[in-house]
Homo-oligomer: A and B are copies of this chain.
Amino acid sequence: MSTAPTTETSLDASCCPPAEQPGISLEDAQQRAAVFKALADPNRLRLLSIVKAGESGEACVCDMTEPLDLGQPTVSHHLKILVEAGLLNREKRGTWAYYSLVPGALDRVTGLLASL
């Protein structure tokens, strides 16, 4: 609206519940969005699926390049994103790198949705 002060730089840190912004905060939203960004790619979803279906719940990079039909650097890049999002664990054994689901990570994502 025209009457709304566009520069509302929180002049009120004193008495009453200030402004009562509806919904979640911007910071909160940014953190949650970061997780969904990691999930917002078909190949990353397939990576998660492959890891989840793997032998002992883990899989190495070489097992994932072929089914996805992607180059090895690309797969490595996607896996890094999933690790940084807190969804996958990375464990290096010898020459190979094994990735596994972080326990409870997907349930935590569910919580992000439910608490909107």
Contact = CB atoms under 8 A, between A and B. Distances in A.
Contacts of A11: none
A21 B62 CA distance: 14
A21 B68 CA distance: 10
A97 interface: no
A53 interface: yes
Residue among A21, A40, A42, A53 with the highest chain B CB neighbour number at 10 A: A42
Residue among A4, A21, A63 with the highest chain B CB neighbour number at 10 A: A21
Interface of A: 1, 4, 21-24, 26, 29-30, 32-33, 36-37, 39-50, 52-54, 59, 62-63, 66-67, 106, 109-110, 113-114, 116
19 contacts: A22-B49, A22-B50, A23-B48, A23-B50, A24-B45, A24-B46, A29-B42, A29-B49, A32-B42, A33-B39, A33-B40, A33-B44, A33-B45, A36-B36, A37-B40, A39-B40, A45-B116, A106-B113, A109-B113
